Amino acid sequence: MITKTRTTLFYVALLVISVAAPFVFPAYTFQIALLWIMILFAVTWDVMGGQMGYNSLGNILFFGMGMYISAIVQVGLFYDVGTYTAHSGAIVPVFSHDQYFTGLVAGIVAAGLGSVIIAALLSQVVFGLRGPYFAIGTLGIALSAGELIGAWEWVGGGGGIALPKYPGEPDGRSLLYYFLCFASAAASFMFFRWLYTTRFGLAINAIRDNEEKAEAMGLHTLQHKAVAWSLSAFFLGISGALFGNMTGFVEPLEVAFPTVTFGIFMVAMALLGGKGTLWGPVIGAVVFHVIKEVTWTHMLGWQWVALGGLIVINVVFFQQGLMGWAQDKWPERFGLVVDESMSAETKEAAK
């Protein structure tokens, strides 16, 4: 029986576990922080792909743009970016405590807002494409962005750009970014959870189910699509800024715009967990990330093959994802998570 207290307890438990994790498993802080980023990836992808029916293969664009925007702001506030990158890391300028943190805050904000602006602008042209053309088009944009930025000397070209060094102990650094990642992931999840309960949620589902009908009924479809993408972009941009700082060095194709790897993981995770559901992307991200981290080191080069294989198997044989499978198996138990997703499930379950 879903009750309000049960749900609240559930969230509180999650919160406690998440906050305690880096203290209980200090050696895994980075990996768990990465998990939060993965969750954010899956959640923001699902807004477009699962809820709205616009399968983007290029959402990684905003991750990379956010990373670069943040790097530029963090460095640029205090030093000339061109000169900085020209040194290619040979000369490491010092960032004072205040400079670091002002830069970080400014960088994160700029990354988020900058990504929103990019998404809003691109929306005007990219939403004339539907279905596979939208997927391939966004893929092309992400690939182009990575290559173009990789050729831009001002931000370090193919060599990349280094981020300011953290003024303090490595442990403090790990914890700071852990909590920033957790906060962003949690914020994105809670935000979209709320959004799906408003008219917006129903509208994007309508666009997914029958866009022509929605248009014929006067819905402002372009507006909704642009807003959905911009909101995803906002969170992705912030995650990029955080990740850039966590690794300390931004390389255009490997780190900022890993289109064929992380860009596709977003899709794979949402599919694995069950696209179009609230918790599906989260569950998918957790399962995916855990399997990946556990098997990666043992697979001696075969991990990517296994990953590709996993995607194929998921897409071909397990379309409904974990959530879909669970809903089929235990429709009554639908349960803990349904009260915030579409009302259709409770009606189905109650029947």
CA 24 vs. chain centroid, Å, equals: 26
Residue 311 touches other proteins, criterion: CB under 8 A: yes
49 or 107: CB nearest other proteins: 49
* Whole-angstrom distance, CA of residue 19 vs CA of residue 278: 22
Shortest Å distance, C-beta 259 to other proteins: 9
Nearest-5° Cα angle at 208, 187 to 309? 75
Total interface residues for other proteins by CB under 8 A = 70
Provide the b/e sequence for 171-182 (b: ≥16 CB within 10 Å).
eebbbbbbebbb
| Binder among 26, 82, 131, 248 for other proteins (CB under 8 A) | 131
Contact region with other proteins (CB under 8 A), list: 60-68, 76-84, 162-170, 299-307: 299-307
Other CB atoms within 10 Å distance of the CB of residue 336: 12
Q: Find residue 162's DSSP bridge partners.
A: 249
How is residue 341 written in tokens?
């997703």
Determine which residue in the list 103, 137, 237, 274 makes contact with other proteins, applying CB under 8 A.
137
Closest Cα to residue 233, out of 20, 67, 347? 67
- Site residues for other proteins, 151-170, by CB under 8 A, read 151, 158
Nearer to other proteins, 30 or 318 (CB): 318
Cβ 314 vs Cβ 272: under 8 Å:
yes
Q: Which is nearer to other proteins, 82 or 158 (CB)?
A: 158
Residues that bind other proteins (CB under 8 A): 49, 55, 57, 125, 128-133, 135-137, 140-141, 143-144, 147-148, 150-151, 158, 195, 197-200, 202-203, 205-206, 208-210, 212-221, 223-224, 227, 260, 264, 267, 271, 301-302, 304-305, 307-312, 315-317, 319, 342-344, 347-348
